[in-house]
């Protein structure tokens, strides 16, 4: 019989460091294309050379950090082309996941969708007008859960993993929209209610249309 290994202290340190670096990449404290030097990062975040290198490998696998040809690391770029590419892939993957989830819908999944949108409505209210980074991160985490809930009914772990990675890669752009006051929360709430209703009514075409509008709006890429 095959057993997994117990999490080590090293694994815990790497997880903590990765969370801190993700946060600072998301808020731009670590700038796009910025070189990430192990020693400087250790002084700023702690950890050993080994744990920091492992952390950067984790973030590279998530698409937030890039390993350079000189065996170093840098923060991934954040150009309009990067955003459009992430958006393209998110829409393709999440459309597939939502379609399959609706085709195989269970009462449990529909209940999870309703709960996710309820939590999202509360988080949206809290974050409006707040300048607190903690509120912004909590809001973004609720957004992530909502997004993944819509595709979890697909019962495809690989699709879920890819959807999660792409959502994380879009975080910088979404938080920039939030901080710049570019999110219309009233329209967002109405769209979420309509999306939830379409899912429960099993109107796949409408649900996919509303989902695409939601993703595009959150990233400032509404079609004109």
First vs last C-alpha separation in the chain: 57
Any domain includes 196: yes
Average pLDDT over residues 17-44: 94
90 and 196 in a single domain? The answer is: yes
Could you tell me which of 78, 181, 91 has the C-alpha nearest to residue 129? 181
Average pLDDT over residues 215-219: 95
Confidence grade of residue 12 (pLDDT, cut at 50, 70, 90): confident
Determine the Cα–Cα distance for residues 47 and 53; give it in Å rounded to an integer: 10
Q: Which structural domain, as residue segments, surrounds residue 192?
A: 80-218
Which H or E run includes 36?
strand 35-36
Determine the Cα–Cα distance for residues 103 and 208; give it in Å rounded to an integer: 13
84 and 68 in a single domain? The answer is: no
Average pLDDT over residues 91-110: 98
Any domain includes 59: yes
Confidence grade of residue 1 (pLDDT, cut at 50, 70, 90): very low
Q: Is 74 helix (H, G, I), strand (E, B) or coil?
A: strand
Determine the Cα–Cα distance for residues 170 and 93; give it in Å rounded to an integer: 14
141 and 187 in a single domain? The answer is: yes
Strand blocks (E) in the chain: 35-36, 65-67, 73-75
pLDDT tens for each residue of 179-205: 999 999 999 999 999 999 999 999 999
Which tokens in the block code for residue 26?
């998301």
pLDDT tens for each residue of 43-100: 999 999 999 999 999 999 999 999 887 778 999 999 999 999 999 999 999 999 999 9
Note the pTM of the prediction, 2 decimals: 0.86
20 and 90 in a single domain? The answer is: no
Confidence grade of residue 131 (pLDDT, cut at 50, 70, 90): confident
Which tokens in the block code for residue 72?
């170093």
Confidence grade of residue 222 (pLDDT, cut at 50, 70, 90): confident
Could you tell me which of 104, 120, 221 has the C-alpha nearest to residue 159? 104
130 and 178 in a single domain? The answer is: yes
pLDDT tens for each residue of 155-178: 999 999 999 999 999 999 999 999
């Amino acid at each position: 019989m095959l057993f997994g290994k117990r999490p080590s202290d090293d694994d815990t340190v790497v997880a903590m460091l990765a969370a801190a670096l993700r946060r600072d990449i998301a808020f731009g404290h670590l700038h796009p294309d910025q070189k990430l030097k192990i020693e400087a990062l250790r002084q700023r975040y702690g950890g050993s050379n080994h744990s920091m290198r492992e952390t950067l490998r984790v973030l590279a696998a998530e698409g937030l950090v890039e390993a350079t040809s000189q065996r170093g690391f840098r923060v991934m770029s954040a150009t309009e082309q990067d955003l459009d590419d992430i958006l393209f892939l998110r829409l393709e993957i999440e459309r597939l996941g939502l379609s399959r989830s609706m085709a195989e819908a269970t009462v449990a999944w529909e209940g999870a969708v309703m709960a996710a949108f309820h939590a999202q409505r509360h988080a949206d209210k809290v974050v409006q007008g707040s300048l607190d980074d903690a509120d912004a991160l909590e809001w973004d985490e609720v957004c992530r859960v909502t997004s993944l809930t819509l595709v979890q009914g697909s019962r495809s772990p690989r699709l879920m993993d890819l959807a999660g990675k792409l959502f994380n890669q879009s975080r910088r752009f979404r938080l920039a929209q939030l901080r710049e006051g570019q999110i219309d929360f009233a329209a967002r709430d109405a769209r979420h209610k309509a999306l939830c209703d379409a899912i429960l009514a099993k109107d796949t075409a409408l649900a996919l249309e509303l989902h695409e509008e939601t993703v595009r709006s959150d990233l400032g890429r509404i079609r004109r």
